[in-house]
Amino acid sequence: MGGRTGCGGARARCLAAATRSIFVALLSTLTLPVPACQSPPEHVTYSFPQGFLWGASVAGFQVDPGCPTLDASSCVDTRSDWYVWVTDPDLVADPATYLSGEPLSHGPGHWELFEHDYDLAKTELGLNAFRLSIEWSRIFPEPTLGVDDPEALAELASAENLAHYRAELTALRDRGVTPLVTLHHYTLPVWLHDAAGCHWDLDHCSPRGWLDREVIVHEIAKYAGFVARELGDLVDLWATQNEPFAVVLAGYLRPGPDRTNPPGVSLAFEEVKAVSLAMIEAHARMVDAVRFFDVVDADGDGRASQVGLVFALTPAYPADPGSPLDQAAAENVAYLYNWAFLDAVVAGSLDASLLGTQTPREDLADRMDFLGINYYAVVRVEGEPSAVFPALSPLSTFNPFTLTVDYETPSGIYDALLLASLRYPGLPLYITENGTPDVDSPDSQRDYMATHLAWVSRAWRDGADVRGYFYWSLLDNYEWNHGMSMRFGLYSVDPLDPQKTRVPRPAAQDYARIIRAGRIPDDLAPRLGP
Ligand code: FCB
């Protein structure tokens, strides 16, 4: 493990300097200036804290299908709304869904090949952590409505799929790899969400997924508690949900070519607020359930569970740093994209109507043991003198047509970590996803990884309590509406190869070297700008 550089161990001083500069930045340009203690020395060593988790991330819906020999009936989960979303011919034919129509059989078949994948993760990459999701509809293919008793729930659960997850988690533990389990990564059981019906007629569909708030909050908490009871002896690190704002944005506000989520309807303002509230409440109740039912300390650190949330924390910058209108818009967008949700789950301060004013909700507070940050992009916004969507929020003072999502700002990962540290002091942070689909030119994935990791290291040096980094993704997988056409893997997988052979990309070797060294070796170290 290389020594820390730059701040002479004075984390508090650095954080204070960074805090000052960020507040100045928020008030002025929102472009974060570098505090004095950040200036990189001539030969900077990008190092990471002791006990850092080095991982990769996957999600069940994306990696499981496509098994080389297993029967599709056990390999593919037909009971999730996403299965319907990507296979229903009418939905695929509708240009407004932006669905690729790619068969799920083109996926990488992790459901069958997980032992092999975990061998690669351990022996080739040297990972000590791995993030995967459990699929609700695989645990409970049939409704659990009205059944609350854990023993009765056990009767309803798929014993075969539970055994499968036990085998996967045991395979990780046997290799000395710490699992981080996401309980909800976009997918809902079909018995809770009619994705097709809600796409065509949102007002009259049934069941309505996140819009049936009381039902879904109750059911998802039951599911979370049940999984914690059954698998808590193997898992201590839990994430309740993945990117709730993406469910809202790509599901109810602005589905587009980048991402659609079922039901994929546009500008449904009331639903945006209703779904956000349901997901906030669901998070809190899931945390309660996991804390109650996971009573086994799997890794012997004295805690049976740590439960957090995975969020795509997106820094927002003014398109013109000198324009007060753009600055105000950037602050408002940062609030609508990030803080309205996170303040509720971290601090129990709820702004259900997106008015910019929050009220305390005791039953939501103290329900975050860590925050998982997915970092892909920053946004740049131009301001408008008044709200563009008053029915959504008086804070919607941005030009929606010129809002740009910028995937090429590596320093955004630093800003995301520092902004979270400043807003939620003491909350441990993980980078739970970070990766690029630019995998065809040999060096771009390598540069992407090294540069982002360098910024993570610098964020740690400047006071962010970042405890791990999970690359997205271990292998090429089914990228939601894009199918297999967008590839993010450290290992490539040819969708048409019947064996689904995993072939390492050059970035895999770099990652292994970084992990072995516990720092970015000098020949891989990028020179970061200020
Ligand atoms: C994130 C999702 C993840 C994957 C990456 C590329 O938004 O959480 O499942 O699709 O994007």
pLDDT tens per residue across span 408-459? 999 999 999 999 999 999 999 999 999 999 999 889 999 999 999 999 999 9
Ligand 1: centre distance to CA 267 (Å): 22
Q: Which numbered atom of ligand 1 lies nearest the CA of 243?
A: 8
109: left (phi over 0), alpha (psi -120 to 50) or beta: left
CA-to-CA distance for 434 and 527, rounded, in angstroms? 19
Q: Which numbered atom of ligand 1 lies nearest the CA of 437?
A: 6
Pick the residue with more confidence: 381 or 30? 381
DSSP 448-484: HHHHHHHHHHHHHHTT--EEEEEEE-SB----GGGGG
Pocket test for ligand 1, best of 243, 448, 487 (most atoms within 8 A of CB): 243
103-146 pLDDT, tens digit per residue, is 999 999 999 999 999 999 999 999 999 999 999 999 999 999 99
Q: Which numbered atom of ligand 1 lies nearest the CA of 310?
A: 8
15-31 pLDDT, tens digit per residue, is 444 443 443 344 333 33
CA-to-CA distance for 327 and 344, rounded, in angstroms? 24
Instruction: Specify the residue with its C-alpha closest to ligand 1, atom 10.
Output: 479
pLDDT at 381 over 80: yes
Name the token pair of 286.
């899931």
Pairing of strands 502-504, 491-493: antiparallel
Ligand 1: centre distance to CA 14 (Å): 32
Percentage of the chain modeled with pLDDT above 70: 92
Pocket test for ligand 1, best of 58, 180, 433 (most atoms within 8 A of CB): 433
CA-to-CA distance for 2 and 260, rounded, in angstroms? 42
Quick one: which H or E segment has residue 160? helix 159-174
Q: Which pLDDT does position 150 carry in this prediction?
A: 94
Phi, psi of 400 (to 5 degrees): -70, -20
Ligand 1: centre distance to CA 363 (Å): 30
Q: Which pLDDT does position 411 carry in this prediction?
A: 97
Q: Which residues are catalytic?
A: 243, 433
Quick one: which H or E segment has residue 272? helix 269-293
Return the residue matching tokens 């990972």. 127
Instruction: Specify the residue with its C-alpha closest to ligand 1, atom 4.
Output: 479
Average pLDDT, rounded, for the chain: 93
Ligand 1: centre distance to CA 362 (Å): 32
Q: Which numbered atom of ligand 1 lies nearest the CA of 62?
A: 9
Q: Which pLDDT does position 19 carry in this prediction?
A: 45
158-174 pLDDT, tens digit per residue, is 999 999 999 999 999 99
Question: pLDDT-based confidence at 10, cuts 50/70/90?
Answer: very low
CA-to-CA distance for 476 and 437, rounded, in angstroms? 9
Q: Which pLDDT does position 2 carry in this prediction?
A: 29
Ligand 1: centre distance to CA 144 (Å): 28
Quick one: which H or E segment has residue 514? helix 506-517
Cis ω for the linkage preceding 263 (within 30 of 0):
yes
Q: Which numbered atom of ligand 1 lies nearest the CA of 479?
A: 10
Q: Which numbered atom of ligand 1 lies nearest the CA of 59?
A: 9
pLDDT at 9 over 90: no
Ligand 1: centre distance to CA 143 (Å): 27
CA-to-CA distance for 403 and 207, rounded, in angstroms? 34
Is there a contact between 250 and 261 (Cβ–Cβ < 8 Å)?
Answer: yes
Residue environment code for 57-71, b if the CB has 16+ CB neighbours within 10 A, otherwise e: bbbbbbbbbbbeeee
Q: Which of 398, 293, 406 is nearest to 336 (CA)?
A: 398
Q: Which pLDDT does position 11 carry in this prediction?
A: 39
pLDDT at 53 over 90: yes
356: left (phi over 0), alpha (psi -120 to 50) or beta: left
DSSP 100-119: ----GGGS--HHHHHHHHHH
Pocket test for ligand 1, best of 479, 482, 486, 487 (most atoms within 8 A of CB): 479
CA-to-CA distance for 288 and 431, rounded, in angstroms? 24
Domains along the chain with CATH numbers = 44-323+367-517 (3.20.20.80)
Mean pLDDT of 482-498: 98
Pairing of strands 237-242, 178-184: parallel
Ligand 1: centre distance to CA 312 (Å): 9
Q: Tell me how far CA of residue 356 lies from CA of 15, 339, 388, in angstroms.
A: 27, 10, 15
Ligand 1: centre distance to CA 246 (Å): 9
Pocket test for ligand 1, best of 62, 311, 480 (most atoms within 8 A of CB): 480
pLDDT at 93 over 70: yes
Ligand 1: centre distance to CA 185 (Å): 9
Q: Which pLDDT does position 527 carry in this prediction?
A: 85
Q: Which pLDDT does position 36 carry in this prediction?
A: 37
CB under 6 Å to ligand 1: residues?
59, 62, 242-243, 246, 312, 374, 433, 472, 479-480, 488
CA-to-CA distance for 396 and 387, rounded, in angstroms? 5
Q: Which pLDDT does position 528 carry in this prediction?
A: 86
Task: Count, in order, helices (H) and strands (E) of the chain.
Answer: 18, 15
Instruction: Specify the residue with its C-alpha closest to ligand 1, atom 5.
Output: 472
